[in-house]
Amino acid sequence: MDPCEIARLPEELVSAALSRTSPRDACRAAAVSPAFRAAADSDAVWACFLPPLADLPPPAHGEPLPPGGKKDMFLRLSGSSVLLPGGLLSMWLDRETGAKCYMVSATELSIAWRDTPQYWTWTPLDDSRFSESPHLEFVFWLEISGKIHSNMLSAGSAYSAFIVYKLADHTCGLDSPQDASVSVRGIDLVRKVCLQPNPQRSHAEDVVLPRRRGDGWMELELGEFVCEGDEDGDVSFGLAETKRLNAKSGLIIQGIEIRRKN
């Protein structure tokens, strides 16, 4: 079909076709012609990329959403996270698929000895999404876990869980492998990870190492899973090192992130 003929297609037909593509394809289609731009920017297209409004949690007080159309809402929710009521979760949409993604704050996690000041201290950080972050002062027993209900996630999406953290200027005991786990539908998926790789120590090939993010934090993948859509329960995730009775310190946690697997 000649490009000029494509431009003469009814807007409703173009919208119906674009709604079956992806957000990226819809943005590219807007450059084809003014007629395509009108269809590609329409609410009819972008409503198909957004989760149903009933499935979108309301933002916390003071977290504005754009007053414009569905495309503006998608770009806002996929461009940065929104803090949810209570301040214990933040949410955003995956820009490629529209899948719902979350970060569970450290305050919402179960952390062994978290309320004992000689082991953990809690302080606000300017670059954290949440009000406080725990700083590991000294423990022998490191155990961190959290959960999210499966109905908060997007059915049919593959996810990965990451602990998001920093290391203090002085650390100890974090360069030994830890046990990471993700549990869904009663199945436990376990792997070896390491919060602080030691350049003077060789790590086994099956030990997952962290990477530095663009926001200055580090992240370490705890595991991956698929949200089938028929689950009715929690997805649990965690990190532990309880077998070696060596002192550990210097870990600063922002939270655990659950996002679409790339």
Grouping H, G, I as helix, E, B as strand and the rest as coil, residue 222 is strand
CATH label of the domain that carries residue 127 = 2.60.120.260
Bridge partners for 179 per DSSP: 192, 240
In a domain, 138, yes or no: yes
Both 110 and 53 in a single domain? no
Q: Give the residues across from 55 on adjacent strands.
A: none
Query: What pLDDT is stored for residue 205 in this prediction?
Result: 78
Counting the structural domains of the chain, the total is 2
Domain that holds residue 43: 3-87
- Name the pLDDT band for 2 (thresholds 50, 70, 90): very low
What percentage of the chain reaches a pLDDT higher than 70?
88
Residues 40, 43, 44, 45: is their CA dihedral positive or negative?
positive
User: What per-residue confidence (pLDDT) applies to 11?
Assistant: 67
pLDDT digits (tens, 9 = 90+) for 48-101: 888 876 567 777 766 666 667 888 888 888 988 989 989 999 999 999 999 999
User: Taking the alpha carbons of 25, 27, 28, 34 in that order, is the dihedral positive or negative?
Assistant: positive
> Does one domain contain both 187 and 219?
yes
Among candidates 87, 121, 114, 115, which has minimal Cα distance to 103?
87
19 and 25 Cβ atoms separated by less than 8 Å? no
Task: Let me know whether 11 and 82 are in one domain.
Answer: yes
Residue 92 placed within a domain:
no
Radius of gyration of the chain, Cα coordinates, nearest whole angstrom: 22
Domain-embedded: residue 95: no
Give the helix/strand (H/E) hosting 40: helix 34-40
pLDDT at position 1: 46
Q: pLDDT for 11-58, tens place per residue?
A: 677 777 777 778 888 777 777 667 677 777 888 888 888 887 656 777
